[in-house]
Structure formats: structure tokens, C-alpha cells
Structure 1
Amino acid sequence: MISIYQLKPRFQKLLRPGVRRLAEAGVTANQVTTAAALLSVATGAVIALNPFVSSFLFLLPPVLFLRMALNAVDGMLAREHGLKSPLGQILNELGDVISDAALYLPFALIPGISPVPVVLITVLAIVSEMAGVLGTVIGGSRRYDGPMGKSDRAFVFGLLALILAFGIEAHLWVDVILSVTALLIAVNVVIRVRRGVKEAE
């Protein structure tokens, strides 16, 4: 299935010169991972505390893009510059689910949006990432399969934030989009479990 994640190698190629300079400056992968999580939590807090002020949603698309860049950077620092560590692996996985929750749960507070699909997406995103990580536990690789991975979720919520920030009111159409997103994340879980088990066997 097509996913924005498939564009990651090209994105990494663009970032590589900057990553090299960061490594030379002594920046660690764990510092980048932590910065991405803190940025996400701070942005989510601003939106959650101001759910009736649509202009704050303009923050989300650039923050989501920056978070995606930082996620790529920390991985490249770890793999290509000898900065891998057990703590880094844990921070990377925890940082992703914390950032997802921090950036997406505030949508449940926005007038006109049902909190049910927002919460469902957040829970399923955590389950999806856990399903991916468990591939390594049973002797396979970290799984990123499925049509609604981290980058795809970021695209959906970034686009929704942009539309709402321009003053378009949230109605049933938002709930439909979010419900479809939740369904596709559930598909992620099934695919990752099946392929993880098949790889391990």
C-alpha cells in the first residue's frame, strides 16, 4: 500500500548535509529526539488551551513537518554517526507516541469535532506503533507497513488544521475523515502483525 513513508529515503538525502554538521557540532540523536517531543507537547498545549481560536491551528502544519524532519535527523545521527544507544531506541519509540497524543488529542476540544474518532486515532496510533516494535521482539525487524503510518497521520492532521485555521467550520465532514483515518490505522495493525509474524517464522 502507498504511504508517505516511502518518500523517506529522498527526504533523508536532502537532510544529510545538515545532519553531518550537527554531528560535527556535537549534537546527539537523543537531544534531537527529546527536542521533537518537547516541541510537540508545547504545540499541543497551546492548541488545547485555545480550542476556540482557530488561528492557533496554523502552528500545526509547520510543527508537524519539523517534527518529521527531526525524527529523520535523530535516526540518521544514530545510524550514520555512531550515536545509537539503548536509551535512544526507547526515547525514539516513546517520543513518537507522546508526540502523536500531544498533537492530535487537542482536536477533540475543537467545536464541531466529535472527540470519539480523535481519541480512537490516538489509541490506535499507539497500538500501531507497538505492533511495529513487537516485530523486533519476535526476531524480525521494526515494521512500518500500512497505509496510515506516522507521516500519513501528520499529513491528514496538518491538512485539517490548515483548513480549519482559515475559518472553515468543522462539521460531519471532519468526523468522516477522522473515522476513515482510524480505520486505516487499524489496517496498519493487522498488516504489521501479519508481516511481523511471517518474517519471524
Structure 2
Amino acid sequence: MPSVYDLKPRFQALLRPLVSRLASAGVSANQVTVVAIALSLGTGAIILSNPTSHWPLLLLPLALLLRMALNAIDGMLAREHGMVSALGGMLNELGDVVSDIALYLPLAFVPALSPALVVLVVLGSVVSEMTGVVGVQIGASRRYEGPMGKSDRALWLGAVGAVLGLGVDAAPWINGVLVVMVLLLGLTVVNRARGALGEVG
């Protein structure tokens, strides 16, 4: 099943000139990772403090797009400019999980959304990322299979935030989107587990 992750090489190509300038300026990959985490925490806090207002939800797609760019930049700085480190690896993986929780869990307090479904999406996100990392522990590579990887979640929930932020009456179907996300997250966990087991097997 197609995933937004498949577009990553093109996205990286667009960012490469900026990455080179950041490296020349002495910006480290870990600094970019920390900025991405802070962005997620700040945006989530704004949504949490204003759950019945529309405008904070418009920040969600913007924050998610910027976070994807920052995540791509920190990875390129690490790989292409000799900044790979054990601390960077830990920050990258933990930062993704913390950022997902910070950005998505506040949506449970948005009146139009089912709190239980939002929590299931967040749990599914955490488990899917953990499954990808566990692949390394058993001797496989870090797994990124979809169909509901990090970039896909950003696209789907960014769209949810935009729709609700614009004041669209999405009550008849918006929670159905979350149900589909939960199902696709379950499939993502299965695909990543199978990929890792198949690689070591």
C-alpha cells in the first residue's frame, strides 16, 4: 500500500541546499532534533489549553509539516555531514514518540473527536514505532513499513486539524477517519513485525 514515506527522497532533495548551509553554520543534527521536539510540545500545549477553539487546530498541519522538514534535516545532517552519534539515535527515536504524544493526545479534548479513538491512535503510533525499533534488537534493520507510518499519520491528522480548524461540520465522518487510522496502524505493526522477522529469518 502506498505511503507518504515513499516521497522522502524528493523531499530530502528539496531540503539539501538548506541542510548544507546549516552544516556550514555549525548547526548540529541533535540541535535540530531538540527544536522539533520543542515545536511539538509547544503546539500540543496550545491545542490543549484551547480545546474548544478552532484556530489552534490550524497550527497542527503547519507544525506537522515543519516537524517533517526538521526530521528530514536532522537525519541528513547526521548521515551526510558526519554527525551520527549514539545520543542522536536515542534523541531521534524518543523524539518521534514524544512528539506524537504531545501533538496528538490533546486532540482527545477537542469536542468533535472521540477521546477513546484519539487515545487508540496515539497508542497505535507508539506501538508501531516501537515495532520498527525492535527490528534492530533482533538483528534486522529499522523497519519503516506502512501503511500508517509517521509521515502518513502527519498527513491524516494534519488534514483533520485543518478541517476542524476551518470550522467545517465534520461530525458525520470525522471519527470514522480515526477508526480507519486505528485499523491501518494495526496493519502497520503487523507489516513491520513481518518485515523484521522475514529479514532475520
| TM beyond 0.5 | yes
Deviations 1:155-200 (A, max 9, x none): 1111111111111234241111001101101100000001101101
**SS where residue 37 of structure 1 aligns?**
helix
Q: Which amino acid aligns with 1:153?
A: R
User: What residue in structure 2 maps to residue 22 of structure 1?
Assistant: 22
**TM-score between both structures, scaled by the size of structure 1:** 0.98
Q: Distance in 2 between matches of 1:172 and 1:40?
A: 29
Q: Distance in 2 between matches of 1:143 and 1:47?
A: 31
User: What residue in structure 2 maps to residue 102 of structure 1?
Assistant: 102
- Greater shift, 64-73 or 160-169, is seen at 160-169
Q: Distance in 2 between matches of 1:126 and 1:172?
A: 28
User: What residue in structure 1 maps to residue 51 of structure 2?
Assistant: 51
Quick check: 1:114–1:175 contact (8 Å CA) kept in 2?
Answer: yes
User: What residue in structure 2 maps to residue 144 of structure 1?
Assistant: 144
Identity of aligned residues (%): 57
**SS where residue 51 of structure 2 aligns?**
coil
1:43-192 alignment, distance < 5 Å: 43-192=43-192
Equivalent pairs counted in the alignment come to 201
Q: Which amino acid aligns with 1:22?
A: L
Deviations 1:33-77 (A, max 9, x none): 010001000000000100011111111111100000000000000
RMSD of the TM alignment (CA)?
Answer: 0.9
Q: Distance in 2 between matches of 1:172 and 1:186?
A: 24
User: What residue in structure 1 maps to residue 35 of structure 2?
Assistant: 35
Q: Distance in 1 between matches of 2:24 and 2:110?
A: 43
- Structure 1, unpaired ranges of 5+: none
Deviations 1:59-97 (A, max 9, x none): 111110000000000000000000000010000000001
Quick check: 2:163–2:170 contact (8 Å CA) kept in 1?
Answer: no
**TM-score between both structures, scaled by the size of structure 2:** 0.98
Establish whether residue 11 from structure 1 lines up as the match of residue 11 from structure 2.
yes
